[in-house]
């Protein structure tokens, strides 16, 4: 209906089916600008704010605080002043929540698998049909769900691809080599196998170093670089974190380690800890992480710093950091190549793409020219 | 990758993967292949409920059908373990352990201690536990407390397919004797289980539901009854926290104490007979270590102190129900400091 903007339950990550509205942050009648947090939603994995997709006035709160609702359920209605209350009532009455099953039927299976040099690699590929794809590369010990607040937002404009690196997530527990260079070459091979030529690369932490190395070693594959709390842009790194992450065997040990990733430690939910433990308990994962962390970050020094050589590539570079990053110092943002767009966010830690998802998504969309 | 399989399949997969990984893993039990001395199809049985079906085809004579003598083959498994093998002995029902108490209590549990730490006994004794199977008084007991009483034994009783696979692999790799309790009425329960091998460490309880009003501490089938009770209570505005002990020896009291410190109220739920069971043990330890945190007296839900009845009607009444658990939660909320 003209002039009406629905606010719906977001889908954060492929496994999300429902969420609970925990709090409204604005009132009916408030004028809202794009990106303003409107309400807070909590899933069993994580809590975050839902931001306004368009400017307008909040005319109606449809969901109550504490309500558990499926993805895409109508939470509220925004509209301009000239839309009548009757039209809004009619809109709400006729709104039908799209069924999750139908949607998955259209989009195919949630995760895909590729066989790359003998390793089975899990990845997600979705989003727009046309345009240069955006490839998301997670960090040390992470997986493609680290992008749960980002890939669908960027996917509105361009195709998006996110993979579990070798030895990470649900991909085979084996490394093509314990170096940034080996992992970057592997990502290029992955793109060969899934038949993708050129990508915008978004890398987080160790994934940022991999993205930078990909741009140096395979410049023809990379259109632009977005480096988020990136490794490879300086010497220091908190190897206490990487070692603690690799060695923590129980929830009690792991929780304080994961809390270092965030500015707001309460974001580390029981489910998040469980998911990480399930990964870390797989045979071979601890040894693999200790080997990789030992080669890349021994003694708190980064062995490879490909981000410092990016000027020679001439690629557009975006650098994003949370000022409260306890893993890779935010000061490394100053080492971005000349001409790079550099943005720092207060109130965010190492997982700035989660804690400031709306802002980071806007920067990413701008940077990839979407 | 993870997919949904049953607890029964999770047990089979754990044994299969460990037998493939480690040639010292063997298995002994009654009818686990085709029945001792039988002339028919070798993989006909796969155990009394078919848990090991298909393993003979892959691993052959490393699975041994034994005569109907638990004392003989449990003793053989313990002896083989002390000589370097990693045997898994399967008892159809934990109720049959009585005839092998010397082998388990006086031999397996004591070797490491009596030989100055030089002897290891990496044996796993798997057995079905619990009531509700219409199998009468000699095939239905929850005998977990008998084994937690003995130092030198590890005792676990998982409640989900994920924990079952990870804890069975941990049990097989563990260098101490492990009594692995499988609830027969959970065999068909399905859940997400990774295809690859992994271990769930012993001595770490799992908080399966978070809540702020009352802590329920339990294990096995009773985890699921407690979850049912919690769903009912949530509609009344009561948020229950549920701690699944899953490992009974070693016991993770830290998680229990953290939970009770948070909620101030404790309900211990145990399918074992009420005298000297896991519930009484937990409540005694909480009373000693966190008395100041308690806002009301501890409640316990266990069956009556009688043999498991054969009459289906009585058997259903015997097993603690979600309604009984919910009532215990309401009782503890009604009493003490508000």
pLDDT in tens, B141-156: 999 999 999 999 999 9
Are B201 and A249 a contacting pair at CB < 8 A? yes
Nearest to A285 by CA among A252, A321, A248: A248
- pLDDT, one tens digit per residue, over A84-112 is 899 999 999 999 888 765 445 444 457 89
- pLDDT, one tens digit per residue, over A111-156 is 899 999 999 999 999 999 999 999 999 999 999 999 999 999 999 9
- pLDDT, one tens digit per residue, over A293-339 is 999 999 999 999 999 999 999 999 999 999 999 999 999 999 999 99
Q: Residue range B293-302: average pLDDT?
A: 97
Report yes or no: B25 and B205 within 8 Å, Cβ to Cβ: no
Residue A249 contacts B where some CB pair is shorter than 8 Å: yes
What distance lies between CA A356 and its chain's CA centroid? Answer: 10
What pLDDT is attached to residue B45?
A: 72
Residue A270 contacts B where some CB pair is shorter than 8 Å: yes
Nearest to B245 by CA among B227, B214, B213, B269: B269
| Probe site for chain A from B1, B164, B242, B258 (most A CB atoms < 10 A) | B1
Specify burial of residue B71 (Cβ count, 10 A radius: 0-12, 13-18, 19+): middle
- pLDDT, one tens digit per residue, over B202-223 is 999 999 999 999 999 999 999 9
- B59, B139, B183, B224: the catalytic one is B139
Contacts of A270 in chain B (CB under 8 A): 207, 210
> Token pair 């709400």 is at which residue?
A92
Per-window interface: A 108-147 vs B, CB < 8 A:
111, 113, 122
What pLDDT is attached to residue B251?
A: 98
User: Known catalytic residue: B139?
Assistant: yes
- pLDDT, one tens digit per residue, over B29-54 is 998 887 655 555 566 677 878 899 88
- pLDDT, one tens digit per residue, over B267-285 is 999 999 999 999 999 999 9
Q: Residue range B248-264: average pLDDT?
A: 97
Contacts of A44 in chain B (CB under 8 A): none
Report percent pLDDT > 90 for chain A.
73
Find the length of chain B.
Answer: 338
What pLDDT is attached to residue A101?
A: 54
- pLDDT, one tens digit per residue, over A178-189 is 999 999 999 999
- pLDDT, one tens digit per residue, over A24-49 is 999 998 888 887 889 999 887 788 88
Q: Count interface pairs A-B at CB distance under 8 A.
A: 32
What pLDDT is attached to residue A105?
A: 47
Per-window interface: A 163-202 vs B, CB < 8 A:
170, 173
Report yes or no: B217 and B254 within 8 Å, Cβ to Cβ: no
What pLDDT is attached to residue B107?
A: 96
Nearest CB to A250 within list B197, B198, B204: B204
Prediction ipTM score: 0.88
Angstrom CA distances, A129 to A1, A72, A103, A188, B312, stand at 26, 21, 16, 21, 60
What pLDDT is attached to residue B42?
A: 62
What's the gap in Å between the CA of B199 and the closest CA on chain A? 6
């Amino acid at each position: 209906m003209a002039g009406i903007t629905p606010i719906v339950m977001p889908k954060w990550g492929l496994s999300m089916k429902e969420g609970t509205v925990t709090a409204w942050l604005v009132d009916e009648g408030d004028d809202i600008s794009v990106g303003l947090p409107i309400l807070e939603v909590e899933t069993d994995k994580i809590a975050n704010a839902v931001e306004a997709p368009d400017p307008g006035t909040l005319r109606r709160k449809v969901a109550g605080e504490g309500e558990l609702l499926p993805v895409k359920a109508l939470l509220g209605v925004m509209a301009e002043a000239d839309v009548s209350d009757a039209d809004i009532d009619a809109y709400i009455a006729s709104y039908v929540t799209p069924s999750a099953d139908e949607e998955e039927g259209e989009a195919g299976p949630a995760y895909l698998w590729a066989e790359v040099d003998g390793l089975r690699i899990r990845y997600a590929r979705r989003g727009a049909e046309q345009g240069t794809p955006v490839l998301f590369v997670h960090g040390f010990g992470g997986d493609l769900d680290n992008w749960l607040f980002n890939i669908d937002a960027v996917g509105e404009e361009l195709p998006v691809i996110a993979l579990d690196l070798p030895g990470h997530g649900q991909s085979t527990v084996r490394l093509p080599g314990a170096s940034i260079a080996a992992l970057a070459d592997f990502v290029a091979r992955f793109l060969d196998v899934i038949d993708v030529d050129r990508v915008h690369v978004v890398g987080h932490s160790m994934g940022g170093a991999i993205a930078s190395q990909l741009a140096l070693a395979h410049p023809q594959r990379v259109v632009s670089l977005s480096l988020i709390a990136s490794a490879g842009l300086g010497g220091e790194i908190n190897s206490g974190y990487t070692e603690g992450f690799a060695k923590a065997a129980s929830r009690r040990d792991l929780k304080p380690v994961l809390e270092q990733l965030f500015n707001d430690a309460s974001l580390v939910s029981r489910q998040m800890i469980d998911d990480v433990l399930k990964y870390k308990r797989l045979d071979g994962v601890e040894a693999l992480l200790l080997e990789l962390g030992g080669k890349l970050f021994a003694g708190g020094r980064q062995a490879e710093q490909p981000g410092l050589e990016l000027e020679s590539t001439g690629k557009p570079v975006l650098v994003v950091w949370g000022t409260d990053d306890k893993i890779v110092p935010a000061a490394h943002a100053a080492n971005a190549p000349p001409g790079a767009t550099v943005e720092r966010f207060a109130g965010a830690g190492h997982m700035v793409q989660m804690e400031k998802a709306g802002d980071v998504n806007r920067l990413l969309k701008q940077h990839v020219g979407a | 990758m993870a997919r949904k399989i049953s607890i029964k399949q999770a047990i089979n997969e754990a044994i299969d993967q460990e037998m493939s990984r480690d040639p010292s893993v063997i298995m002994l039990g009654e009818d686990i292949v085709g029945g001792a001395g039988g002339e028919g199809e070798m993989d006909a049985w796969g155990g009394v409920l078919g848990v090991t079906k298909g393993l003979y085809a892959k691993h052959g004579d490393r699975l041994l059908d034994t005569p109907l003598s638990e004392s003989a083959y449990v003793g053989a498994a313990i002896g083989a373990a002390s000589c370097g093998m990693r045997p898994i002995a399967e008892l159809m029902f934990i109720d049959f352990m009585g005839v092998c108490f010397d082998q388990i209590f006086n031999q397996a549990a004591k070797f490491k201690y009596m030989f100055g730490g030089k002897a290891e006994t990496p044996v796993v004794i798997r057995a079905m536990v619990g009531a509700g199977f219409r199998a009468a008084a000699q095939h239905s007991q929850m005998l977990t407390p008998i084994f937690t009483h003995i130092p030198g034994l590890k005792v676990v009783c998982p409640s989900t397919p994920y924990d079952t696979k990870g804890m069975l692999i941990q049990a097989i790799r563990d260098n101490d004797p492990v009594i692995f309790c499988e609830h027969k009425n959970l065999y068909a329960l399905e859940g997400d289980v990774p295809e690859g091998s992994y271990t769930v460490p012993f001595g770490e309880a799992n908080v399966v539901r978070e809540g702020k009003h009352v802590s329920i501490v339990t294990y096995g089938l009773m985890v699921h009854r407690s979850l049912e009770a919690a769903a009912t209570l949530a509609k009344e505005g009561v948020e229950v926290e549920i701690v699944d002990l899953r490992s009974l020896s070693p016991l993770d009291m830290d998680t229990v104490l953290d939970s009770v410190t948070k909620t101030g109220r404790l309900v211990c739920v145990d399918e074992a007979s009420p005298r000297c069971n896991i519930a009484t043990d937990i409540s005694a330890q909480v009373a000693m270590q966190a008395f100041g945190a308690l806002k009301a007296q501890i409640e316990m839900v266990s069956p009556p102190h009688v043999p498991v009845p054969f009459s289906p009607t009585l058997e259903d009444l015997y097993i603690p129900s979600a309604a009984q658990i919910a009532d215990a939660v309401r009782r503890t909320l009604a009493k003490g400091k508000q």
